[in-house]
Structure 1
Amino acid sequence: MNDAKSPNTVLNLTGITKVYNKGAQSEVQVLDGASLHVAAGEVVALVAPSGAGKSTLLHIAGLLDTPDSGTVQIGGEDMTARSDRRRTLTRRSEVGFIYQFHHLLPEFSALENIVLPQLANGVSRRDAQTRALDLLTRVGIAPRARHRPAALSGGEQQRVAFCRALANTPRLLLADEPTGNLDPATSDQVFAALMELVRDTGLAAVIATHNPDLAARMDRTVRLENGRLVAETPAPA
């Protein structure tokens, strides 16, 4: 499932390094040769202590940031040295992001929040609305489609964020603590909805979490320590 040479590999990170300057003469090595390969249909849990660099790794994987060295391949294409425009187009069409906080646009309805990224990607409004309603139906909140975020519960807001991330049918989903802002019961329900969406679409997913119970429900776990992904373990049977 994690063979970099497999034709099913969607994300291939090889030897990723990243150093940040922390003052005039101080540097912080956040990533130090991190490598990760994720196949289509595979859900990988990314675990790490706070400040270990998991958000940086996700940003590099999603083409929001660039590594100091190493390569980032999405769907077999090396994106590391591509132009900003090419990286933006790939990110828009191939990658979906979910964050701990939903970041929905407050002035638009749930439906509109899912329609807008599709319009930006050239999809007709009619087709965009059809897909948005289909996604909302899958996560069980289609009756809330016309409500604005302020009228939705925290769990409903995050489900809308999941739908928005999948609106443009990406090949890769990156999630940074997607249920970390929810109470345990809601977190469990929302995570189940996310996993169902991921399984239905067959995309590759990397989900950062501090929750060992959620990590155990994924296909395997990778741990980021000292800038490297030093351990890969399958989820318990």
Structure 2
Amino acid sequence: MSEPVLELRGIEKVYLRGEAGEVRVLDGAECRLTPGEMVALVAPSGAGKSTLLHIAGLLDTADAGTVAIGGTDYTTASDRRRTVARRRDVGFVYQFHHLLPEFSALENVVLPQLANGVPRAEARTRAEELLDRVGILPRATHRPAALSGGEQQRVAFCRALANAPRLLLADEPTGNLDPATSETVFDALTRLVRETGLAALIATHNLDLAARMDRVLVLREGRLVPQ
């Protein structure tokens, strides 16, 4: 069996919310993702999907439990080690693309690589390859405002994969798109995951898209339950 790309064990997270007191969002959540696997994360709004993704991606810390990426336990790692791991091993995609408006599609994919020390020529070549894989290389010189919603989100996928991470975390990546565009974007995402062999955990309300992934995990009462 392949070593898990992501392993969450016994994840707990509690928030203090005014008069409501303690709200236990995660209560022993556990999962394992292996290379090349697409896993859907399904739950009602407010159930803790985003919190779980932030903990898995080392953007937040759990109150209890362990988080391992690529076999390395980052539960008690320093902020610096977590930052390095995020930059090297994790790609994020959100419902809204968050592209830098003053830069072209190509530049938006190049910049994360430059920040990671990749030479400009090499970064440009990889950016062009990724944009070509999702079918928008002809739009590479356009700024985000000149791109459609589906094109913007495909650029966001490419940016998330620019530094060849092990793990992709996506929070409602098609939630802001119409059904036809969602299909196009999801197909592009699937192609990228299959071709690169990374592991992807994708939060979605779209049950049709969820059913097309390898597995579906439902976040219920703070735990992850296979569907």
TM-score (norm. length: structure 2): 0.98
Q: Which whole-Å deviations, capped at 9, do the CAs of 1:125-179 have from their partners, x for residues lacking one? A: 0000000000000000001000000000000000000000000000000000000
Query: Which residue of 1 is the match for residue 203 of structure 2?
Result: 208
CA distance in 2: counterparts of 1:141 and 1:41, whole angstroms: 23
Match 1:85 to one of 45, 65, 80 = 80
1:40-79 correspondence to structure 2 within 5 Å: 40-79=35-74
Match 1:199 to one of 174, 194, 202 = 194
Query: Which residue of 2 is the match for residue 221 of structure 1?
Result: 216
User: What is the root-mean-square deviation of aligned Cα atoms in Å?
Assistant: 0.9
Residue identity (%): 74
Q: CA deviation at 1:232?
A: 1.1
Q: CA deviation at 1:24?
A: 6.6
Q: CA deviation at 1:7?
A: 4.1
Task: Tell me if 1:17 matches 2:9.
Answer: no
Task: Tell me if 1:232 matches 2:226.
Answer: yes
| Gapped regions of structure 2 (runs ≥ 5) | none
CA distance in 2: counterparts of 1:216 and 1:226, whole angstroms: 22
Q: Which whole-Å deviations, capped at 9, do the CAs of 1:193-228 have from their partners, x for residues lacking one? A: 110000000101100000111001100100001111
CA distance in 2: counterparts of 1:8 and 1:25, whole angstroms: 41
Greater RCO (CA < 8 Å, at least 6 residues apart): 2
CA distance in 1: counterparts of 2:143 and 2:33, whole angstroms: 35
The answer on whether the counterparts of 2:2 and 2:35 sit within 8 Å (CA) in structure 1 is: no
In structure 2, the residue corresponding to 1:29 is in which secondary structure?
Answer: strand
The answer on whether the counterparts of 2:112 and 2:159 sit within 8 Å (CA) in structure 1 is: yes
Query: Which residue of 2 is the match for residue 35 of structure 1?
Result: 30
In structure 2, the residue corresponding to 1:100 is in which secondary structure?
Answer: coil
Query: Which residue of 2 is the match for residue 111 of structure 1?
Result: 106
CA distance in 2: counterparts of 1:219 and 1:46, whole angstroms: 11
TM-score (norm. length: structure 1): 0.94
Letter in 1 for 2:130: L
Task: Tell me if 1:97 matches 2:92.
Answer: yes
Task: Tell me if 1:179 matches 2:174.
Answer: yes
CA distance in 2: counterparts of 1:221 and 1:174, whole angstroms: 14
CA distance in 1: counterparts of 2:167 and 2:221, whole angstroms: 25
Runs of 4+ in structure 1 off by over 2 angstroms are: none
Q: CA deviation at 1:23?
A: 1.9
Query: Which residue of 2 is the match for residue 3 of structure 1?
Result: none
The answer on whether the counterparts of 2:3 and 2:71 sit within 8 Å (CA) in structure 1 is: no
Q: CA deviation at 1:77?
A: 0.5
Q: CA deviation at 1:8?
A: 2.3
Letter in 1 for 2:132: T
1:96-175 correspondence to structure 2 within 5 Å: 96-175=91-170
Q: Which whole-Å deviations, capped at 9, do the CAs of 1:71-116 have from their partners, x for residues lacking one? A: 0000110001000000000000100000000000000000000000
Letter in 1 for 2:226: E
CA distance in 1: counterparts of 2:53 and 2:179, whole angstroms: 24
In structure 2, the residue corresponding to 1:9 is in which secondary structure?
Answer: coil
Name which of structure 1's ranges 123-132 and 17-26 shifts more when overlaid on structure 2: 17-26
In structure 1, the residue corresponding to 2:66 is in which secondary structure?
Answer: strand
CA distance in 2: counterparts of 1:211 and 1:107, whole angstroms: 32
| Gapped regions of structure 1 (runs ≥ 5) | 1-5
